[in-house]
Structure 1
Amino acid sequence: MRWLCLYFPYLALELHGLPPEIPQVLLDKRQRIRAVNTRAEAQGIKEGQALATALALSPDLALLETSDKRARTSLEQLALWAGAFSARISLCPPQALLLEIASMLHYFGGLDALTGHLLRALEHSGYSARLAIGETPRGAQLIAAVEEYLDADTTIWWQRLHALRVDQLQLSPAQVEQLQGIGMRTLDDLRKLPRSELAQRFGQAMLRDLDAIVDPAMPPPEAFIPPEQFAQRCELGVEVGHSQGVLFPLRRLLAALEGYLVQRQQKVSQLCLQLKLRDGSIQVLRVGHAGGSASASRWLDLCRLRLEREQLRGPVLALQLSAEESELDEKSNGNLFAPGRSQSSVDELISRLCSRLGADAVRPLQYHADHRPESVLNSLLCSREPPPVAMKRPGWLLHRPQYLPAVQRRRLELLSGPERISSGWWDQAVVRDYFVARWPDGRCGWLYRDPDGRWFIHGWFG
């Protein structure tokens, strides 16, 4: 197996969804700086600094707090998102994911293509990550925590792994101090020591840690199992008072939804978006797709249209996205020689109209069991199927039939008929005998005779 590690160095900061231009820091329990983003670092703020010193350097500093539970939730959402790139994903708390990629290289067209797709998706997600491949999952994780490494040469990778310093092996501080005390500087130094001596000095746990780093035959880490139903929540870093401000955190939830659906080969036709407001109430929005879709970009467009016509009842503190109607995503083969308009584009248009105008404003075509020409002709004109040859109907139906005097009627030549139409007993009954007639000047019209013997013109042929 071959592994790819995604290490998110700023996960605890970036999960809040604030723009990267804002200097941001995390505080520990002693009110000291625990983590900084690149903007705050550029202003001279460092980890371990006192809060007062940091505020003196940057008065506009955003002070953030991230619980372990919230960081774990964000990591699980990223695992769902990564489902679009790997069938086996493992969580490495607090800020890394492991993806098995050996089985995916052929599908994506090689390592470069796979990592290219990943990097583009990360750019849209708003998360920063370092990527490192490896022959062992633990080895890939350790390298990713230090640097980005995407060299496909396995020999160079093993050399780079063995060159890791002991303080880069994520051992306990006491173990690192002991190893450095006996002259151990790198992983290669450790591997040269007899295993019995290592076990005697540091215990069997040290041997197991080393085996996990260097032995490809060790059992892989536990795989992340997606939930049966998609329902993910996102807490906002600041209050959002306008609907368009919800789109950035929503983009992350939709990316997680896409990975979830791709991995399960499903699509969804309706989403439920719940907005938690400052007063504790919940504002619920539903967005639908006529044919169902798994694409995050398509759903984002529909949500944008839906939010444009929605008035928020108050500032938003959190949002939750759930998939209400999911089904198997069956791919269909296209027509190579007649690439006409696809059904997906029609579904897309209907979905956009529903999101923009409201579901009640968009109605599908329907057939009615009504033989009256006023209803039949409208159905035929709206239908994609051609009418039967035997049904001779004019292309122009008059809005209201015109009375035909007897003098004019005697001048006409009847070409076909009669055709009896009797229908509409439930609202406005009609009994008519229809004829096709030719006028002296060559025009052809559609006539009918009522039970009283009167004649009317109902339409004209082209």
Structure 2
Amino acid sequence: MPPNALWIACLPAYGSSTPEPAGPWLARYGPQPVLHEDGWLLELSASQRLFGGRAALLRRLRHEGAALGWGRLGAAPTALAALAVARATPAAGGFGHALGPDWSARLDALPASHLGPARPHRPVLDALGLRTLGDLRRCPRAGLARRTAPGLLQALDALYGQAPLALPGWQAPERFHQTLALPAPSAETAALAFAGQRLLGQLTAWLQQRQAGVLHWRLGWQGRPAATALDFRHRRPTRDTRLLRSQLHDALARTRLDAAVDGLWLETVHVVPWSPASATLLPDRPADDALSWEALLERLSARLGPARVQTVQRAAHWDPARRQRWRAALQAPLETEGRRGSDHAAAAPALALAAMATLWEPPWWLPQPRRLDTGPDGHPRLKGQRLRRVLGPQRIATGWWDTPVAWEMGVATSADGRCWWLHRHAQPGPTSPGEWRLAGVYA
């Protein structure tokens, strides 16, 4: 047994509601929670330093356990000892421990029935006067073995750390799907958000145990069609509780239910392996609490709606105005963006794209080009002011792959220093080119 061994055992408090599964909760603090007999066990020797030390970790587990329905906790250097100490706590809830140099002496004073394999032999042990764990340890082993099962001696040795104990670890399911019944039917956002936070806590614990991050998850209502569920998407795998919680609150704030619901369910749709971000190598760099670009897009999409937060994607096309494709920021990228019927994007000649690569294309295009007036000199004017050409015009001809059209395009600047993208038909009529139109804006 390691000198700093620490096991925690959790039992439900009597008289409380059915507790939540302890496996996902305990998986936040150690890699292998164990369901053994009537309680959950977890070895904390390696992880206690990560949570501020032994005392701070035990206080945290006691507080969280009481909130989740696991109000009886015990701590000891071995798994069975922690379980025996937890069984000695008050039925309504409490915390006990057998730690320190005299931990075995504290264990000796506990009733023998607190050792699971001793319970079936309680009448025999009472008749022999063996009422405490210390009595069992001091009893001759040969006589005890003849009157009980061999498993009792093996459990007794494991109880005091004199023999190993094989415990199968808890494994998170391949797919997360949990339901939560509400205390009363409700359509209030606050009640649904509180219940959803409990499901998110289970989700993040499941993700940590699986070493995974979620890209797509859903929150729905019990008794309602799955089509009414809320969908949440992320650009990168995440298991950040704060981010998930903020998205949930923003989405519920925009949701209006036509009737009260009895409960919620939460499930994962797309989960991938997750690895933490690399820490900075600069020791003097302060912690940065600002949202990342992906987190900002996700929060805005949850608050405003996915259709109102869009991002641009480049597409191959001879026409510069059609090289931008806008889509929802959280939408999965299209595999063949731009290959749609008459667009002929895939057929755009490489020479045309290479010729336009040197032209300064605008980041923002107007929904409809705006016609510009021209003065006596034929130069385009904006609000009566002459625009000064700074680049172009460059001639683009569609050639054989589309209706034969020739365009002249260029960049001009106004008196206030703003830049504009102009274009016109190079040959709209038999003698003169077409009128200039304002098509793009430079922010």
Instruction: Decide: shared fold, TM above 0.5.
Output: yes
Percent identity between the two aligned chains: 26
Tell me the residue number matched to 2:349.
none
Tell me the residue number matched to 1:363.
310
User: Which deviates the most, 100-109 or 428-437?
Assistant: 428-437
Change beyond 3 A, Cα 1:187–1:347: same
1:225 partner letter: Q
Change beyond 3 A, Cα 1:276–1:168: same
Counterpart of 1:89 (choices 33, 43, 50) is: 33
Change beyond 3 A, Cα 1:288–1:343: farther
Structure 2: 5+ residue runs without aligned partners?
90-94, 327-355, 381-385
Distance (Å, rounded) in 2 between the aligned partners of 1:248 and 1:236: 10
2:77 partner letter: E
Counterpart of 1:220 (choices 166, 178, 185) is: 166
Change beyond 3 A, Cα 1:361–1:429: farther
Contact 2:28 2:209 in 1 (8 A): yes
2:314 partner letter: Y
Counterpart of 1:101 (choices 44, 58, 62) is: 44
Counterpart of 1:391 (choices 316, 334, 359) is: 359
Tell me the residue number matched to 2:406.
431
Tell me the residue number matched to 2:375.
405
Residue by residue, what CA displacement relative to the aligned partner does 1:298-346 show, whole Å, maximum 9, x if unpaired? 3233223323333335443343322110001122325556889899622
Change beyond 3 A, Cα 1:151–1:297: farther
2:45 partner letter: A
Change beyond 3 A, Cα 1:253–1:216: farther
Distance (Å, rounded) in 2 between the aligned partners of 1:447 and 1:319: 54
Tell me the residue number matched to 2:88.
146
Q: CA deviation at 1:421?
A: 3.5
Contact 1:81 1:257 in 2 (8 A): no
User: Within the alignment, does 1:115 sit opposite 2:58 as a pair?
Assistant: yes
User: Which deviates the most, 220-229 or 313-322?
Assistant: 313-322
Tell me the residue number matched to 2:300.
353
User: Which deviates the most, 407-416 or 260-269?
Assistant: 407-416
Tell me the residue number matched to 1:324.
269
2:25 partner letter: W
Distance (Å, rounded) in 2 between the aligned partners of 1:258 and 1:187: 40
Contact 2:387 2:413 in 1 (8 A): yes
Q: CA deviation at 1:417?
A: 4.1
Contact 2:247 2:302 in 1 (8 A): yes
Distance (Å, rounded) in 1 between the aligned partners of 2:10 and 2:128: 31
Tell me the residue number matched to 2:257.
312
Distance (Å, rounded) in 2 between the aligned partners of 1:436 and 1:149: 78
Distance (Å, rounded) in 1 between the aligned partners of 2:315 and 2:412: 28
1:102 partner letter: S
1:406 partner letter: P
Q: CA deviation at 1:139?
A: 0.9
Contact 1:243 1:312 in 2 (8 A): no
Contact 2:118 2:152 in 1 (8 A): no
When the two structures are aligned, how many residues end up with a matched partner?
391
Counterpart of 1:135 (choices 64, 77, 80) is: 77
Change beyond 3 A, Cα 1:166–1:271: same
Residue by residue, what CA displacement relative to the aligned partner does 1:203-234 show, whole Å, maximum 9, x if unpaired? 44543442342244232322222222222233
Residue by residue, what CA displacement relative to the aligned partner does 1:76-128 show, whole Å, maximum 9, x if unpaired? x320222121111111343x2101223334554643454355356547x5434
User: Which deviates the most, 260-269 or 388-397?
Assistant: 388-397
1:333 partner letter: S
Instruction: For residue 13 of structure 1, give the secondary structure of its aligned residue in structure 2.
Output: coil
2:73 partner letter: L
The correspondence of residues 260-299 of structure 1 with structure 2, limited to 5 A, is 260-277=206-223, 284-290=228-234, 291-299=236-244
Q: CA deviation at 1:437?
A: 7.4
Distance (Å, rounded) in 2 between the aligned partners of 1:393 and 1:230: 46
Contact 2:7 2:77 in 1 (8 A): no
Larger fraction in helix? 1
Residue by residue, what CA displacement relative to the aligned partner does 1:347-366 show, whole Å, maximum 9, x if unpaired? 22222233233333332222
The TM-score normalised by the length of structure 1 is 0.68
